[in-house]
Amino acid sequence: MKLAYLSLTGNVRDFVEKTGIRSIEIHYNGPYEEVNEPFIVIVPSYDEMITETVRSFVQFGRNEEYLIGFAGSGNLNFDGDYCFNAKDLSTLFQKPLLYTFEFSGTESDVQHFKEELSHYAGAGTK
């Protein structure tokens, strides 16, 4: 299992690094790459361009075939907009929203996230 993530301020990158799970970073301007193995996408909540960028990445090559679900970083002060990009992508691709966390997450968030991933495709994240 692999993580694909987009990080603008570094919060999502910090979270991904704390997981110790292999990952690739999605950039606004590409280039995109094929993942060719089960993966989870983790995104921040900023603007609609994130949804469009990640949509393009997921639809690149055969990536959509390997997509398991989404996780999101956000700020609880934004109430209904908390992790809206991850929620929108989850709906768009009809894949589960596996986890949400605030900013770069806590050690507890990392552990809970890895526990959640262990339920999918023998993720090998324990």
What is the rounded CA–CA span in Å between residue 117 and residue 102?
Answer: 18
Angle at 123 between CA 58 and CA 51, to 5 degrees: 25
The DSSP 8-state label assigned to residue 42 in this structure reads E
**Structure tokens of 92?**
């768009």
User: pLDDT value at position 32?
Assistant: 92
Between 103 and 78, the more confident residue is: 103
- Asked if the model's pLDDT at residue 36 lies above 50, the reply is yes
Amino acid at 76: L
- pTM, full prediction: 0.92
User: pLDDT value at position 123?
Assistant: 43
Going along the chain from its start, the domains and CATH numbers come out as: 2-117 (3.40.50.360)
| Selection from 73-87, 91-105, 110-124 with the highest mean pLDDT | 91-105
